[in-house]
Structures are given as C-alpha cells and as structure tokens.
C-alpha cells in the first residue's frame, strides 16, 4: 500500500471515530500499567472484571504491596499466567516506590526496566497515559498491518517501525487504538467482515469483499 492510500486509511478511521478509547478500565497511570501487564494473553474483559475489585482495595503501589502477592492472586486468579503476573506486579510496585517516587515513568527506557514490562506494554502506557505517539503492536495490529498491506512485516517491531514511518503525523497518537479496534471488531482473525469494512477498497487482502 502506498503512502497516499495509507493516509486515506487513517483519514477514514479518524472520520469514523475521532477520539478512540481503549477498553481497559483504569483511574491513573499506575492502574493502567497494572491492567496492561495483566492483559498479556488475556482479554480486556477478563482484566476489567479482575481490576474492578482489585483497584477498589489497592489503587496505588503502596496499597497493592500491602495486599501482598497472595492477596493479589485472589483478585487475578481468573486471568492466565496469574502467578507470574502477580510476582512481576509486586516487584514493579517495589521498584516504582524505590526508584521513581511511586510514579509511573514517562519514558520507554525506564518503563522497560520494570518487571513484566516489555516494549508493547511500554508503548501502550506512553500512548494512553501520557499522550505520546507510540504504537503498540499486538496481535490485532500485526494482523491488520500485514493483511491490508499497510505495513507488512515478519515481527511486531518491524511492523511498528514501518507504521510509524508511514502514518501521517496528525494520526499517530490514535493509530494504536484505531488499528486494534479495527482488528478486534472488523478485520477479525478467522473471518474478516469485509462487507462492513470502511477501507475495503484500499485493502490489499486477496479475499476482500468486492462491490
């Protein structure tokens, strides 16, 4: 897909949803960080169910540490890999308090030193909590970028870097959400809903719907 078509894709996504929102529930950058750590290999719905009770009793690093690892597990047991995630979250809370005054860092380098935080998690936090034009490539973004021809790549990092080069600057801040939502509800993995797709005439997917 050339840059002109790429720009048109995001112009249409913007027109349809000017202020896209993520589907994780949170009340602070810290809560967003914890929710994103929990969301690895889990649905946003399952994370929201767990954090509804968790954040009610432990909304801060201090409160979560007071809850303890076993107390945390009691809230997140329904989420996959909950024991490993609980260990990482407790360790992250310690580091936030010891190294960052209890605040979530606003840069990738510091974020990626926290247990359980990789590039994708850091990108989500930087984008949603701090408004930075980062682009987290999850399974939905990776699929949409490759299937449509927006930014074909063999790895998430490859796709991320290509997208950042190709997406016009005014659209970069919200591109993460537009692509995730498009992949989740329209450009689905098993059966993409091409007839309902607002960019189908620009898409390079061989099986796309034809008018």
Domain stops at, among 105, 130, 155: 130
Q: Which residue has the tokens 């950058």?
A: 29
99, 63: one domain: yes
Q: Is residue 120 annotated as a catalytic residue, yes or no?
A: yes
Quick one: angle between helices 82-100 and 29-38, nearest 10?
150
68: region left, alpha or beta (phi > 0 left; psi from -120 to 50 alpha): left
What span, in angstroms and rounded, lies between the C-alpha atoms of 201 and 68?
53
Q: What count of other Cβ atoms lies within 10 Å of the Cβ of residue 10?
A: 21
Active-site hit among 3, 49, 87, 120 = 120
Residues of the chain with pLDDT > 70, as a percent, come to: 98
Task: Select from 130, 149, 175 the last residue of a domain.
Answer: 130
Examine residue 182 and state whether it is found in any structural domain, yes or no.
yes
How many Å apart are CA 72 and CA 166, to the nearest integer? 41
- Residue 186 near residue 192, CB atoms below 8 Å: yes
State residue 205's pLDDT score.
87
Answer yes or no: do 126 and 54 share one domain: yes
Model pLDDT for residues 139-148, shown as the tens digit of each residue: 999 999 999 9
Q: pLDDT over 90 for what percent of the chain? A: 93
pLDDT of residue 47: 97
Q: Among 87, 110, 138, 162, which one carries the catalytic annotation?
A: 138
| Rounded CA separation 60/40 (Å) | 21
Residue 195's Cα: distance from chain center in Å? 26
Give the pLDDT of residue 30: 98
Report the domain count for the chain. Answer: 2
Of 56, 55, 48, residue with least CA distance to 78: 48
**pLDDT (tens digit per residue) in 34-67:** 999 999 989 999 999 999 999 999 999 999 999 9
How long, in residues, is the chain? 211
Name the residue range of residue 162's domain. Answer: 3-20+134-196
pLDDT tens digit sequence for 77-120: 999 999 999 999 999 999 999 999 999 999 999 999 999 999 99
Compute the distance between CA of residue 38 and CA of residue 46 in angstroms, rounded to an integer. 9
Among the listed residues 156, 152, 147, the one whose alpha carbon sits nearest the alpha carbon of residue 194: 147
Two tokens, residue 186: 């329209």
Task: Give the model's pLDDT for residue 124.
Answer: 96
CA distance 104 to 125: 9
Q: Is the pTM of this model over 0.85?
A: yes
- The verdict on whether 44 is a catalytic residue reads no
Give the DSSP per-residue string, 82-93: HHHHHHHHHHHH
- 34 and 105 both lie in a single domain: yes
Distance (Å, whole) CA 77 – CA 79? 5
Last residue of a domain, one of 130, 155, 188: 130
């Amino acid at each position: 897909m050339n840059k002109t078509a790429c720009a048109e894709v995001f112009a249409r996504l913007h027109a349809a949803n000017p202020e896209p929102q993520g589907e994780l529930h949170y009340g602070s950058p810290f809560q967003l960080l914890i929710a994103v750590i929990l969301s690895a290999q889990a649905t946003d719905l399952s994370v929201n169910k767990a954090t509804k009770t968790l954040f009610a009793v432990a909304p801060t690093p201090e409160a979560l540490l007071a809850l303890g690892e076993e107390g945390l597990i009691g809230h997140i047991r329904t989420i996959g890999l909950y024991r490993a995630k609980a260990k990482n979250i407790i360790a992250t809370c310690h580091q936030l308090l010891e190294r960052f005054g209890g605040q979530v860092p606003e840069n990738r380098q510091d974020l990626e030193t926290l247990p359980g935080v990789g590039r994708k998690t850091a990108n989500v936090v930087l984008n949603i909590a701090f408004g930075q034009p980062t682009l987290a490539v999850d399974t939905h973004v990776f699929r949409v970028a490759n299937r449509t021809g927006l930014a074909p790549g063999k790895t998430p990092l490859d796709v991320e870097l290509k997208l950042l080069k190709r997406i016009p600057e005014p659209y970069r801040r919200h591109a993460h959400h537009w692509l995730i939502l498009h992949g989740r509800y329209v450009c689905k993995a098993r059966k993409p809903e091409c007839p309902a797709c607002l960019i189908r005439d620009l898409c390079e997917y061989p099986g796309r719907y034809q008018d």
